Structure 1
Amino acid sequence: MSLKNEPVVVFAYDFPHRKTYDFILDLMAVGLRNLVVLAAPHKELKNTDRRVYFPRSLIVPPPIGTPDLCESLGLKLYLVDHGDSEKIRKIVDHYDIKLGIVAGARIIPGSVIELFSEGIVNFHPGKIPETSGLDSLYYTIKNMAPPGVTVHYIDHKVDAGRYISFEETPISLHETLETLVENIYQTQRVALRRFVDSYFARAVKTEIIDRPKKNQPMTPDEKLVTLSGFENWRAEIHLRQQTEALLVACKDGNLKKVEQILSAHPALLGVAGKQGWTPLIVACFNQSREVVRYLLELGADPNQAGAKGTTPAMYAKTKLINQENADYSILDLLYDSGADFSRLDSYGKDILHYVELSGDRQLLEKVAKYVRG
């Protein structure tokens, strides 16, 4: 029997609800047919903020009601409060269900969560713990957090449990608040599909989420103040994403992507990533020769070192050590562009020292020529 034939509970609402509708269709589309939908009734929440804080003009077709959807798809449907642990226990035991997926739910109590041996997975529209709570959009902007979706197994605390993954939403410089909200929503659907693939491949890895406390709901004034910083947030996040994309492209040797990013953001040529690695360092370390050539032609500094004073040449030699038929062309490119092979790192060592330690006599002879000039 295919693993995807295993029964899976979908926590949903019994009224027309976009995420419920889309998640059920997406789960069916990726091959899950044995879905058991637990649809909770509508509850009127106290102190619900219904103010409109930014324009909304995107057209979204209204979802079909959950009972009608389940009937048309031939899915098992139970109208049940998500806190009714006894009724849900009977359903779980009857179908031998191990996994639950949240498509629409209020707070699910611990007595229900513990019924699922594999857990209940949630898709939070923000990075946890930075954006925990209901106002995740506003805390994303306030805390300068990346936009996206946290996939996690829930526990008795809100927006906590076991972290699975974070699916980041790309941001453009033309992003509006409305398109941001829509794109984060669509990212939930992307994250759902990735989770399903990973889960049925038995490749899900988790770690405990460190969330001492969740964020409190913002007041209307706090939301307005937060939204006033949207453009600054957008610019910083976009630049951060482009930096990360540039470094990945340098690692992969994706010259076309490198050209595209630096054409739009030439100031990123000498940017340092989280490890203190510049695009040139990343390309040198990963032996991405054509990218190295391109970066040097643009004017990348061949002597701009990493956090510990490690030069691009020092990084470039790493994967050449004791390699048969080693290609030294990146070292040649660096030398021809003015790299100083006698530079010392923060430990007072030069490249000759490290190559000599490796015992690679051929590389040592090559580097010694660079040092002598």
Structure 2
Amino acid sequence: MAGKNNIAVDVLEYLIRINNGRYELGVVCNKTETGKNSWQKSLRFFSQRCNVPEYHLEDMYMRDDLIFISLEFDKIVNPDLFKDARLYNIHFSLLPSYKGMYTSAIPILNGEEMVGVTFHEIDKGIDTGNIIAQKKIKVDQQDTSRDLYSKYISNGTQLVLSQIENVIQDKVHAYPQEAKGSTYYSKKYIDYSNLKIDLRQTALGIQKQIRAFSFREYQLPVVCGKKIIDSKITDIRSLKKAGTIVEQNENGIMFASVDYNIILYIDRFYELLEACKTGDLDLVKDICSVKKHINECDEHGWTPLMVATYNNQKKVVDYLLINGADIFAVNNNGTNLLMYAKAAYLQYDDIELLKKFFDLGVDIEREDYRGKNLESYLKDDGYKLDELLSKM
């Protein structure tokens, strides 16, 4: 298996679980692989932990009876170079449309309401192989490219897993792609090194740009020197020239457009994390009036709720929960809220947040990406889980 990120790790984990000695497993990692979990899980980290050997692509060419599955792999796979192989790929679109690059952004720019994922055979073309299976995905009106990518990952994983047994047993049924509806976008289609929001558009056109280029791990759109986290089309008809600032405050800037005024909300996420740390509830409420902030996460995977929990800021925690904070989110290492609440308990001798998240259903048995759960971390700190539970 070749590739990166959660989809590759989760498929590999499944293959390990169902193997029972039926096949030999190996991975080929992307050249950008660091071996460390970031906002996505690391294939190298997981494969090493599970003693699955890593190879170079060239090592695969002369293998007999090879099954090669590409899951966000970053190299061109030429079928002619393989001696004896069945080659498969997951592509984040409903082929034959959106071959090529930027499938998390371009469909949003184009106003698509439905996208999907395709599991297909690899041939010598770019995403042109015979289709094995597809799954449609609805594009919600507020989805950003980050949101759409997350949908691709989860639905793509499900699609691949649904076909794994057919792949192993060589029972896949594939059909050729049609020319009708076929589109292709190259790397040159979007210049991410020079992104500019065109404000001389309709309000909807501006909003689609904001959504398409919002992917915090890579970039947020910048307007008037401010990073933008979200937008809202008003019902106020624009009376000024498109691109003119109508009004602004600390949370956003209202612009005139070709038709309706639009508010571009300013990113204050790191200010929010600091407010969650110090317990500044008024500031938390002000920033979270732009709801998009509530479930954002930083480069460590920390959400506002995690930061508030770790620092035992109970009023902030309650406010975030009431306003939709995700209690099941984990950081880049798989640390969940019970583990953060454990840290608060040890530091502040206050069990309230531990009890709260336990009662809300956060999984006490869930392991992080190192294979440790709450009980094992408590043991490291000299505590017993049973004794802790008796205090709740």
TM-score w.r.t. length of structure 1: 0.44
Larger Rg: 1
More helix per residue: 1
The structure in which a higher percent of residues are strand is 2
